[in-house]
Amino acid sequence: MYGEDARTIAELSIDDYLYPDADLYNVSGLPPLALPPLTCDLSSGRWVFDNVSVPAYREKDCTFLTKQVSCLANGRPDDMWQYWRWQPNECSLPTFDARRFMEAMRGKRLMFVGDSLNRNQWESLVCLVQSILSKGRKKIVKRGSFNTFYAKDPQNWGNPDGIKCVRETLPYQNYSQHLDLYHDMRLYDLVVNVASSMEKVPVTVINITRMSDYRKDAHTSLYTIRQGKLLTPKQKADPEKFADCIHWCLPGVPDVWNQILYTRILSKSSWHSNFSPPPSQSLPLPPQ
C-alpha cells in the first residue's frame, strides 16, 4: 500500500563476531534484574506518561531507522508520543538492557518474519541494541525479498479510517471502554489454539494488540513516505486517503513490543538465577 514489499524477513544475528570484546557485554557484575513472573499478564495494563526513562534512544542517534518511520525528520511537529511507558496491571516491566539481551542471545539468531510491521519491530530492536555495538561493526546486509506465499488483502486493510490517527497527540485513555478497531479476534484465538497444541516446537504467543490500539497518537500518520517520497501538501490535505494509521513512529510503540520480548527471553534463559522479583511501582499521572 505504501510502495513497499508486503513480505519481510529480517534477521539479527547475535554471534561472537558481533562483539569481539567480550568484557563489554559481561553482565556478571550487574545487579540482579527484577523480572515479572511468567504468570503476569504483560498485555493488560495502561500507558503512563514518563519523560524520564523513555524513549530508550533518539531518532537522530539510530542510523538504522528508515525514512518511513522517522516521523520527526519527516516534519512531525510534536514529540509527545515518545514519552509513554507501558505499565502492566499486576507487575512491572524491566527496562531494556542491551548488554543483558546480547548476552542472553549470545550465539543465537533472532528472526522477524512477516510484513512491514515486523520490519517496524526489527528496526526498533536494532536501535535498542546499537548503542553498545562497535562503530565499525554496524551494518545491514540486504539480500532482497523472499516471498513465501500470497494472500488476499482484507477489505479493511486499505486504511479506510486513516483520518482517525491524524493530529492525535495523546493515547486513548478510557481503558474501561471497548475499542472497536475491526479486529477479528477469532484469528487471535486460532493462533493461540494452534500454538498451544504444538508439542515438539515450543511456541509462546504475546498479545500486543490491545495495548497498541490505545496509541492512536503514535502512528506515522502524515509524517511518512509513500512510494519512496514524503507526502506532498496536497496529499496531506487528504488524510482519509493518505494517512498511515498502520505503521508506528520510532522511537515508539514497537519498543514496548521488544521490551516484552526481552522480558520473556530473559525469564526463560539459562542464566536467570540472578534475577529477583520486581518491586511494586506507583503510577505517575499523565498530563492533563
How many CB atoms within 10 Å of residue 30? Answer: 12
Active site residue: 97, 217, 244, 255, which one? 244
Give 171-205 pLDDT, tens digit per residue: 999 888 777 777 777 888 898 899 888 888 888 88
Q: Is there a catalytic annotation at residue 282?
A: no
28 is catalytic: no
pTM: 0.82
For residue 59, give the C-alpha cell: 531518532
Q: Note the pLDDT tens digit of each residue in 13-66.
A: 554 434 444 444 456 677 778 899 989 999 999 999 999 999 999 999 998 999
Residue 218 DSSP symbol? S
Q: Is 15 designated active site?
A: no
Vertex 37 angle, CA 11 and 204, to 5°: 40
Q: For 126-182, how does the pLDDT look when each residue is reduced to its tens digit (9 = 90+)? A: 999 998 877 766 667 777 666 665 555 555 444 555 568 999 999 999 888 777 777
Is 47 within 8 Å of 85 (Cβ atoms)?
Answer: yes
Q: What beta strand segments (E) does the chain contain?
A: 8-14, 45-49, 84-88, 108-114, 219-221, 225-226, 229-230, 244-248
- Residue of 29 and 92 predicted with greater confidence: 92
Taking alpha carbons only, the member of 159, 270, 288 closest to residue 220 is 159
* pLDDT value for 146: 63
Quote the pLDDT of residue 6. Answer: 42
pLDDT tens-digit map of 263-279:
999 988 744 444 444 44
Boundaries of every domain in the chain: 8-143+159-274
Q: 93-120: per-residue pLDDT in tens?
A: 999 999 999 888 888 889 998 889 999 9
| CA distance to 1, 125, 206, 214, 274, per residue, from 36 (Å) | 39, 21, 15, 23, 13
Cα dihedral 270/271/273/274 (nearest 10):
-160
Counting every residue written for the chain, the total comes to 288
Catalytic residue among 92, 124, 247, 255: 247
Active-site pick, 70, 92, 97, 116:
116
